[in-house]
Structure 1
Amino acid sequence: MSSEAESRFHMVDVSSLTFGPRRAMLRTDDGVRIEAVHEPFPASVADTAVVVAHGFTGAVDRPAVRRAARALGRHAAAVVTFSFRGHGRSGGLSTLGDREVLDLAAAVRWARELGHARVATVGFSMGGSVVLRQAALDRSAPAGPDAVAAVSAPARWYYRGTAPMRRLHWMVTRPAGRLVGRYGFRTRVDARPWDPEPLPPFRAVPLIAPAPLLLVHGDRDPYFPLDHPRMLAAAAPEGAPVELWLEPGMGHAENAAGEELLDRLGAWLVRR
């Protein structure tokens, strides 16, 4: 391992030197420490790793994230989970999907450092917007993904068209709301506004090809209605490898993703 890699990937709580789950603190390109977990495929050393990007207020040890990791790991793939900045035991402050692309890039590079030739990313809600933007910005290895799936992702910023999104905007823009986020959801939010505004997810979509892209959205999503996934799909260039799954009865993000959907999602991420 190079000296650069040694400074970026500090291993802690390693349960096995050869095989088994391992925890690490990763250092992003802007110096934030990110907690991460690597879980190898039990039967053999998998060529593919799936990196899971959780939604806002999630974290690596939240039950919905662990459930998704177990389901995705059944498909001959190792799984890397991590906590975005400002979440869980990671450092820094949440920037609501802006600088989180650096967190995801660190996790993808770590998966490749661990020997996985192929890395796919899957993100939920805020994490969905992050996987789209990160794939557009990092288009080649070691940080570029080989396949991308965005679940319950927004297409555009500042959306306030639903009651849950209006509550979320209150939480992240008001001092009292940020206190609720910090102590109620263990999520620390940066009070500073975006400067500059990050690339919107729908504008990232045309830059992802030739990597295959899967968009997944529930028709009962209380945060983002169906115009969001349709806007994302419509932004893809003609002939790009993009699929759209509209899931009947599904709500929002990893909490609403059932075992059957996670099974299909894992199969797609490994075979594409």
Structure 2
Amino acid sequence: MIPRILSIAGSDSGGGAGIQADIKTITMLGGHALTAITAITAQNTRGVTDVLPVPAEIVLAQIDAVVSDIGVDAIKIGMIGSPEVANAVADRLEALFRGREIVPVVFDPVMIASSGAVLADAATIAAFGRLMRLSVLVTPNLPELAALAGAEALPDEGAQVAAAIGLVRDHQAAFLVKGGHAEGPRLTDRLVGWNGTVAEWSGDRIETRHTHGTGCTLSSAIATGLGAGLEPEAAITRARFYVRSAIEAAPGLGAGHGPMGHGLGREHFRGKAPLVI
């Protein structure tokens, strides 16, 4: 059966991140995307101009509608919108999992957009703890890791790994610490597991401004792999490869932080006769 992946996240009107990026990623990697939209944003490549959180009861109604009929093999949680939605989603997932086999949850703790816009206030971030405890994997970038650990800065690899180990201990979830915000020509992502083990993936930095939605894409790609039965490290390896390929295929849209090329530049219908309706 095709893996059914539920994305609980915000909508990006520019199509580069959020629910839109998740749908494209899940589809490209062989899954079927289900969605529960937590917030509506007005944004483009230059920034976010407005945000409207979706009421918690509507978020839950979306989750209930798709899970009760279609089912779910993995869940990705992204922009959560408000503390009320964070706690409501945690309540619903706890109820869904009670007495059932738990499906893998990947939580991308979105706090700040690529443009610098704040997408989670202090109260929402404080509510992240419950979602982390429900997750098998949390995927913060370096500023998000520092915020979750209550640190002003994490200046080096040792401090970053120590912060992740503390969070793993507190929340019983593995942490994939993304290295894109670090300095230097190479970036390294580090997976800190439940027993403190660290796995690393490194690659040359791709110099481009078209990286909007990398975090959303990575987390939904990992969730798709887990939903398809891949082991975590295999899911991460495939997801990183897809993200890097999508960055290289970016179509060059917009004047700011442009979207990636989720379709990898493919023209699926070139040379085919048009449909007659």
TM-score by length of 2: 0.45
- TM-score (normalised: structure 1): 0.46
